Amino acid sequence: MPAFDYRNGFYHVEDLDLRELAEQFGTPAFIYSESAIREAYHHFELAFADQPHLICYAVKANSNLSILQLLASMGSGFDIVSGGELTRVLKAGGNPKKIVFSGVGKTQEEISQALSIGIHCFNIESEEELTKIEKVASALGIVAPISLRVNPDVDPKTHPYISTGLKQSKFGIPTETALRLYQQADQSAALNIIGMNCHIGSQITELAPFTDALIKLLELVDALTQKGIFMEHIDIGGGMAVQYQNEDSVAIADLAEAITELMSGRPQKILLEPGRSLVANAGILLTQVIYVKENSGQNFAIIDAAMNDFIRPALYKAWHNVLPIIQFAEERPEREYEIVGPICESGDFLAKQRRLKIRSGDLLSIQSAGAYGFTMSSNYNSRGRSAEVLVKGTHAKEIRRRESIEDQMRLESNPSFDSGY
């Protein structure tokens, strides 16, 4: 049975009516299904069962401690991009030996923190970063496990904001530079080469970019092997698409089959960094219609969620399905609506041109909101960030309470400057 579906005309998450969750926790609220997350994770594990592998969940997709704890309990590793994410993973019980540290701007403090707790490896993105990690590791008397993020110059055919594997990208190291840096790192007593990494983008809907990138990495692996430099793992990153509308998506089983074939006879373990594909369809944004209005023939449904809660539609023009919590049987006029929030921006929309039968007070579900939802939210217009709720069967747990204005102001002060300052 799907984690989210209608029962007797009322939309449910697992065994709970979403009307009851709206009454208990208020709106807007992110609602997550534990069973959907478990199912998605096990889908990956099953698909790659014949290939030595480690799943490293991309924490940036959804960093709630309860979500991280759930994944850690299933044996997941973690892909992090900041010291804050590292702290979250450790707090949630993540195994440091299963953490890979990505990102182009690791600070000295973050590097020291990661070295001290013994992460699996750093995915290094530049020559200067390699030098800094070597210096920090040497000063601490620790050997740093490293992997270079190689930029394979492969077009993932996705939104330009989330395309990260082209040569013009800020991410990664060109192949020819990587060959030199691997040889340089091999001479350092403070560095231990254990792998190679790439991440070409997000929401990738075709198989070819993944295989093209891996082929290029394997060519570099072979060139390094000839020079006596060996890899323990190859990290192919994440980026597996989910279906928001009617777009294509790569079946995880097909991806696993293609990768397993390319890795046949090779000793390296495969690392994967899925984020969106594990949690996007395990969550919704539950919201209520405040007002319905019509301006010069254009209908608007003004809801209590906004771009500060869920910025993907405004930032990427991302399409998310919108469903009524109650499938009304009585006659209501169906109209085309712009689903918009209360923020003072014309770009504050959650969905456009949706045909719905709605009135003020109705509850709506913004679908596929489990990834890059709360983690990208803000306090714009001094709006408190939404509550987060995790559902397991007939039980619901508030895993992050709604922010109050007092929460927002707690870190601020009203200083009195000396005259003449």
Catalytic residue IDs: 344
Angle between helices 127-140 and 175-186 (to 10 degrees): 20
- How many other CB atoms sit within 10 Å of the CB of residue 411? 6
Q: With contact defined as beta carbons under 8 Å apart, do 15 and 394 qualify? A: yes
Please name the helix (run of DSSP H) or strand (run of DSSP E) that holds residue 69, with its range, or none: helix 65-73
Please name the helix (run of DSSP H) or strand (run of DSSP E) that holds residue 33, with its range, or none: strand 29-33
Query: How are the residues of the chain apportioned to helix, strand and coil, as percentages rounded to the nearest 5?
Result: 35, 25, 40
* Intra-chain end-to-end CA distance of the chain, in Å: 66
Q: Which two tokens stand for residue 188?
A: 């350092």
User: How far, in Å, CA of 214 to CA of 211, rounded?
Assistant: 5
Biggest alpha carbon–alpha carbon distance for the chain: 76
User: How far, in Å, CA of 263 to CA of 93, rounded?
Assistant: 31
Angle CA 391–277–39, to nearest 5: 50
Contacts of residue 161, defined as CB under 8 A and 6 or more positions apart, other chains included, come to 315, 316
User: How far, in Å, CA of 384 to CA of 150, rounded?
Assistant: 40
108-147 core/surface letters (b: 16 or more CB in 10 A; e: else): eebbbbbbeeebbbbbbbbeebbebbbebbeeeeeebbbb
Q: Which neighbouring-strand residues pair with 13?
A: 4, 16
Among 60, 12, 10, 9, which Cα is nearest to 36's?
12
